[in-house]
């Protein structure tokens, strides 16, 4: 395949291969400098071709959020997986026991049916105890880790491998790299402390896993942390640019769209990328569906399913091609069945995107 971008049907999801490769290499270097294993989150690409490249850069395995992501990687023969979610509900329990994948747990309520199914199957389900280090999502409070681990041990059928956190609260340190760095180190210290407490109480705790793109330069560098699970770094996105973790030039994922109507003179241009191309994930910096690249002053403030509204769009004509940087790349890939790979200005391949809802 060697298609000029102007010839692609729009909207089209594009991956810039050179930028992707640089992002993968740099993050692998960062994890190596920290002396930790790199277990990228697959949700950011949902693309086996990207995953294979990450393995080529030394990733030890992957993190998944959904059953579909786990399935996609297992089908591709990639087996060292952490399913960083509580497998609650009969279908997920059966799937976890059948695959033997390492899961996240944070309560007896979530663990009981899984433990019962594992006991019935005569296996011990590996799990990581999820710890909330400040995001306020799932996870036990650090001070409750030893008590919860003891409760889960009494259920039988489970095997504690270590501890896991997602330091998603680092996304709130906009324009504050020093604060973000400090908060990231605090996350690493909290996790190392929880692991030490668990070991002192007689539990195995080989894995001390932190994970985020904004925390990748801080939390994994704390002694005692063994693993980093960044995801978004594969492509970066508008939110990471707003946060200051990446420059726009590092962003490898864009949506190529075309102006299909300029209905009321110069100020409004309608493009063929709407909600179903961009997702509706908000910008951490404000509103809008993404940043229009290379056309200063244009805002992408409104969208219907297959129409986007660009305002301040002087100079755009029917037929103009426009490149949009998504706010949150991970939400966008879930909207697409495939992405064109761009090298030297041409689409050279189309990589399937798998494990979508």
Ligand X SMILES: Cc1ncc(COP(=O)(O)O)c(C=O)c1O
The binding track of 280-319 with respect to ligand X, each residue x by CB under 6 A or -, is: ----------------------------------------
Q: How many residues bind ligand X (CB under 6 A)?
A: 13
CA atoms within 13 A on the CB side of 350: 10
Report the residue number, 106 or 272, with the smaller CB distance to ligand X: 106
What residues from 203 to 222 belong to the interface with ligand X (CB under 6 A)?
211-214
Residue 9 burial (10 A CB sphere; 0-12, 13-18, 19+) = exposed
Residue 106 near residue 153 (C-beta atoms within 8 A) = no
Report the residue number, 63 or 226, with the smaller CB distance to ligand X: 63
230 touches ligand X (CB under 6 A): yes
What residues from 313 to 342 belong to the interface with ligand X (CB under 6 A)?
none
Q: Is there a cis peptide before residue 11, judged by omega within 30 degrees of 0?
A: yes
Among 63, 102, 279, 327, binds ligand X (CB under 6 A): 63
Residue 224 near residue 207 (C-beta atoms within 8 A) = no
Q: Is 169 helix (H, G, I), strand (E, B) or coil?
A: helix
Q: Which residues contact 352 (CB under 8 A, 6 or more apart)?
A: 47, 48, 49, 337, 338
| Residues 49, 7: Cα–Cα separation, whole Å | 24
Report the residue number, 148 or 257, with the smaller CB distance to ligand X: 148
Q: How far is the CB of 38 from ligand X (least distance, A)?
A: 12
Among 19, 46, 92, 166, binds ligand X (CB under 6 A): 166
Q: How far is the CB of 229 from ligand X (least distance, A)?
A: 4
Instruction: Return the beta strands (E) in the chain as ranges.
Output: 3-4, 12-16, 37-38, 62-64, 81-83, 102-105, 125-130, 158-164, 207-210, 227-228, 253-261, 268-271, 290-293, 299-303, 308-311, 321-326, 338-343, 346-352
84 touches ligand X (CB under 6 A): yes
180 touches ligand X (CB under 6 A): no
Report the residue number, 211 or 308, with the smaller CB distance to ligand X: 211
Q: How far is the CB of 316 from ligand X (least distance, A)?
A: 32
Among 87, 162, 231, 308, binds ligand X (CB under 6 A): 231
Q: Which residues bind ligand X (CB under 6 A)?
A: 41, 63, 84, 166, 211-214, 229-233
């Amino acid at each position: 395949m060697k298609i000029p971008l102007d010839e692609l049907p729009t909207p089209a999801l594009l991956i810039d291969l050179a930028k992707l490769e640089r992002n993968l290499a740099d993050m692998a270097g960062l994890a190596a400098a920290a002396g930790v294993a790199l277990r990228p989150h697959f949700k950011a690409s949902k693309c086996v071709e990207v995953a294979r490249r990450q393995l080529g850069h030394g990733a030890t395995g992957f993190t998944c959020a959904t059953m579909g992501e786990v399935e996609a990687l297992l089908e591709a023969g990639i087996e060292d997986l952490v399913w960083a979610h509580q497998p609650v509900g009969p279908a997920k329990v059966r799937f976890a026991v059948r695959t033997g994948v390492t899961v996240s747990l944070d309560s007896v309520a979530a663990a009981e049916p899984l433990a019962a199914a594992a006991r019935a199957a005569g296996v011990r389900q590996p799990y990581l105890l999820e710890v909330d280090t400040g995001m306020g999502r799932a996870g036990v409070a650090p001070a409750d880790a030893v008590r919860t681990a003891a409760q889960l041990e009494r259920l039988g059928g489970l095997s504690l491998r270590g501890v896991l956190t997602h330091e998603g609260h680092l996304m709130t340190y906009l324009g504050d790299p020093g604060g973000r760095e400090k908060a990231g180190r605090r996350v690493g210290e909290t996790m190392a402390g929880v692991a030490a407490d668990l070991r002192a109480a007689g539990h195995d705790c080989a894995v001390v896993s932190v994970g985020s793109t904004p925390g990748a330069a801080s939390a994994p560098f704390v002694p005692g942390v063994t693993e980093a699970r960044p995801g978004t770094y594969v492509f970066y996105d508008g939110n990471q640019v707003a946060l200051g973790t990446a420059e726009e030039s590092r962003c490898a994922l864009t949506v190529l769209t075309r102006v299909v109507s300029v209905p009321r003179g110069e100020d409004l241009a309608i493009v063929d990328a709407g909600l179903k191309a961009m997702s509706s994930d908000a910008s951490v910096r404000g509103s809008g569906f993404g940043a229009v690249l290379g056309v200063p002053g244009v805002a992408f403030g409104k969208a219907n399913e297959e129409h986007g509204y660009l305002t301040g769009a002087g100079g755009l004509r029917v037929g103009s091609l426009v490149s949009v940087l998504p706010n949150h790349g991970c939400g966008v890939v879930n909207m697409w069945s495939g992405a064109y790979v761009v090298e030297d200005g041409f689409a050279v391949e189309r990589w399937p995107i798998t494990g979508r809802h």
